[in-house]
Each structure stands twice: as C-alpha cells, then as structure tokens.
Amino acid sequence: MYKLLTVILSVLALNMNAQSFYELEAKTIDGDVFKFETLRGKKVMIVNVASKCGYTPQYEDLEKLWQTYKEKDFIILGFPANDFMKQEPGTDQEIKEFCSLTYGVSFPMMSKITVKGDAMHPVYKWLTMKEKNGVKDSKIKWNFQKYFIDENGNWVECFEPGVKPFDESILKLIE
C-alpha cells in the first residue's frame, strides 16, 4: 500500500510541475511573437522541418492537411531546424520563400530554432521532456517528426519522421 501511495504521489507531483502548453511562445518566421495561448481549443501538430531533407516533400501533404482541416480547429506549426546534417541552412527569409514558392505553404511557420542539445528551444523542451509536458519523454530522431497536442493543450502523441501527414493514426486524432 505504501509503495502504491508513493507512486501516486510521485505522478501527482510530476504533473503539478508540468508546464502548460499555453504558456509557451515562439518567434514567427516574420519575427513576430506567437503566443500559444491563442491555440486554446485547437488541435495542434508541431513539426520540425528542413528544406534539404529526404522528407522535405512532406511539406506538400502538410499543406493539404492544413487546408483540409483548418476550419475544424486544427493547426500545423512548422519549426525549421538545422540540427540534422545541416539540412536547413537558409535564413528565415530564404526558408519562407522556399516553402511558399515550392510547396505553397500557408500554415504558420516559426523562426529557425534548435530542436536538440543544450540550445534546444523551450517549445521542444516541452515536447520532449516528461517533466515539462507531464506525459512522456521523447527524442527528436530527424526532420519532420510530428507532435500532436489536443484541444486542451495536452501532449498526445509523437509521430516519427517517416509517418506521412495523411497517415490514418494522425487523421483519427484530428477527426
């Protein structure tokens, strides 16, 4: 009984220390502050993206997914990162132009960040650390890893880079 009570108290303490998703913010690719508070009531997919990656063509399906579900309180946030084999070398302006001209990206794009190591952006600390999100630890494996947050700001799932945007497991969470 004592052991069970200790486990329960540990879980409660962890969840009490967790940070709210809605406290986060990031700089947009245009340099404005994007407050996650504005995402209340929306399902959110966060994706670390890169312009020179084998998964870069996923931009096309991400845009289609965004266009299909944006009216149903769903949003995609793209976070360019140069952490894997320097596959996102451009400036924010170059990234914005590439995404717009090549894939017609219209979902919100953030300023280029770091998604691993000591310089990891606070959003990615929240996504990857159980002590921050209250649910699970995860590791960024490569570009185009996808994180799903529910309409209440809860960490729900992490999808590996090879999971395509229209995968049934993603669609179930959106619908």
Q: Tell me the catalytic residues.
A: 53
Which residues have C-beta within 8 Å of that of residue 40, sequence separation ≥ 6?
A: 22, 151, 153
Three-class secondary structure assignment of 116-156: CCCCCCHHHHHHHCHHHHCCCCCCCCCCCCEEEECCCCCEE
Structure token digits, residue 128: 């990857």
Distance CA 157, CA 43 (A): 12
Structure token digits, residue 146: 């996808």
Helices (H) and strands (E) in the chain, counts: 6, 6
